[in-house]
Structure 1
């Protein structure tokens, strides 16, 4: 089978960090950086069109005042995680990134839609618009009363990760360690458990990707929603703390949940290196292992575009057809590729958000 580059298979992606890249941009008009493209990063409208990037979870990530490169944290187990942002600064940054997402839609309504339901996503994709779901990665902007969560939900928030790879009032993130299990510390706090219950009430997707293993099991015990890791890989193939163990994968399968494969080379390679010359076949290898562990209806893509060092052969969003071609070359049929590219995500979101499948 050969996939036509003239008409790429639409891809709905589990995770990107475009909003963070725009937030830290020195451009006078960061919205135009996305709409017109400047050759930087992995995502902009022209490259999305070229590669068939049809939508995904657009993450809001609040940086620490002191930045630590995750690649350095991976190499040095003694390296300290960056400090957790304080509430006022986190709220200010979160509101600005949410506004950037909404302003992209305002400026280009014919090309971009902020979606609040799976039906919205399907309609946007059918009309050729990029279907964007607001996601928060690390919930430092929400205090223990959880009131800000309701405000963000009203603004469009439909997916969140309670922590990034640092602790906050909700729990403990898994550190960037190679040759490590995800069992690295305590799980959810009592406030974190209240957050999970509130997310279930609001039908907000709970992303497990950055939670440590005890936090993962706390969510599994509390949540009535499918278990989802939007951008994680297989620990048996790459023993990085950010990747999922066989027992975790079994729990995700039992819940009819899902995993989106992360393109970060450090989470793909068996040596854990941040190496640009990583072949696309390493992504396919993790996809195949996830299909074996979860079944073909529970696996998708979670690129980490604009948030990670990805294989040079992929380059950016325009390279997505090359990845799907590599899947085809590995024996994945057209129906399976379509499931991985977008259909599984749409079905998972329907189940999570309480919409009829």
Structure 2
């Protein structure tokens, strides 16, 4: 079975191409021929919170819009459906976000198609359209109801991030597991409860990929012990380079590789560069009065902070990580466990500090350019850009 999956992976890594000799090709050609997959983009959050429309030109407002995605060579997008732990009726809110994506797809049938499986995905990509899938960011959105997993699957959800920063009753988050007086699950401990293990089994059964970004270490190891399918970290980076609770330690990366899963590198500067967090806290403290004023006027707390980064652009630019750190995180995983277990999960439009140069979806080819300059061949680059996560998607079907 593993050999069959690897064979499929080789077949789906590139669009209509069997030539993997990068020596004779430009990075633009290699990027164009790969199936480029971004496993995490929060543009739906921007549309819900700010009234933006994805199929309009949002240059200067967001990291993403439909036409700029194509400019960047994007072929497959997992759209994040998100809410925090304070959201009332999070299941309904999730469906409203999916409704908004469906409306975009309905208006743009020649540009984007929602797909249910890898067969539909490949057909869509070969028609030069974006294949859309959904990642549910935060298990609280199922409202402790396994039947809602069926409904969300039918609406296009193909992975679920078990927690966001907030824990659920059945799984503890990285944020909660690492803070003082940690929040525990409903059984009074960290990790998965018995119901949480039922969620894992149901996701395996349906073909919804388990996503361990945001989850605590105990939850992570409980997932590894209970899943029968490969998992992903949809938007996480390397703890050994940047020791942030949202990043993965070496033993976790090795466990994901052994499981046959994949780690999708996050572009957030604070997850790439260990010096950014302290500087970012100083920036927010400096502008706290303005942020508090915006919150009092009714502005969403997340957007209030985001406005400060935009208003004080020169200050915020100095906070950004180097683009080279994206490649460093990718290469760290490659050297640790191999080329088959790493990919891209940008977190665009869910972050305010992408790395220098890589400031929107049109800049994706810079990653391919850097990999070519590092000496990677077309086959390996195609794995990183999308082949690895497509293998995991297929293995979960």
* Alignment correspondent of 1:342: 386
Deviates more, 1:219-228 or 1:34-43: 34-43
Structure 2 unaligned segments of length 5 or more: list them.
1-22, 281-317
* Alignment correspondent of 1:67: none
* Alignment correspondent of 1:66: none
> Where in structure 2 are the equivalents of 1:9-28 lying within 5 Å?
9-26=34-51
Matched, 1:162 2:162: yes
Residue 347 of structure 2 is aligned with which of 295, 299, 304? 304
Report the structure number with the largest CA radius of gyration.
2
Contact in 2 for aligned 1:313/1:319 (Cα 8 Å): yes
* Alignment correspondent of 1:267: 271
> Where in structure 2 are the equivalents of 1:1-357 lying within 5 Å?
2-4=26-28, 8=32, 9-26=34-51, 30=52, 33-39=53-59, 40-63=61-84, 83-86=85-88, 88=89, 90-175=90-175, 186-273=190-277, 276-308=319-351, 309-353=353-397
Contact in 2 for aligned 1:179/1:240 (Cα 8 Å): no
Mapped partners of 1:280, 1:176: distance in 2: 30
Q: Secondary structure at the match of 2:357?
A: coil
TM-score for both structures, normalised by structure 1: 0.85
Deviates more, 1:155-164 or 1:331-340: 331-340
Contact in 2 for aligned 1:5/1:321 (Cα 8 Å): no
State the aligned residue count: 326
**1:199 CA drift (Å):** 0.5
- 1:206 to 1:177, Cα distance in 2 relative to 1, 3 A: closer
> 1:267-310: CA deviations, max 9, x gaps?
11132435654222100000001112221112111111111121
Contact in 1 for aligned 2:81/2:137 (Cα 8 Å): yes
Q: Secondary structure at the match of 1:260?
A: strand
Mapped partners of 1:244, 1:288: distance in 2: 14
Structure 1 unaligned segments of length 5 or more: list them.
64-82
**1:177 CA drift (Å):** 10
Mapped partners of 1:58, 1:7: distance in 2: 21
TM-score for both structures, normalised by structure 2: 0.77
Contact in 2 for aligned 1:177/1:241 (Cα 8 Å): no
Q: Secondary structure at the match of 1:101?
A: helix
Contact in 2 for aligned 1:42/1:317 (Cα 8 Å): yes
Mapped partners of 1:6, 1:335: distance in 2: 9
Cα-Cα RMSD: 2.5
More helix by share: 2
**1:217 CA drift (Å):** 0.7
Q: Secondary structure at the match of 1:315?
A: coil
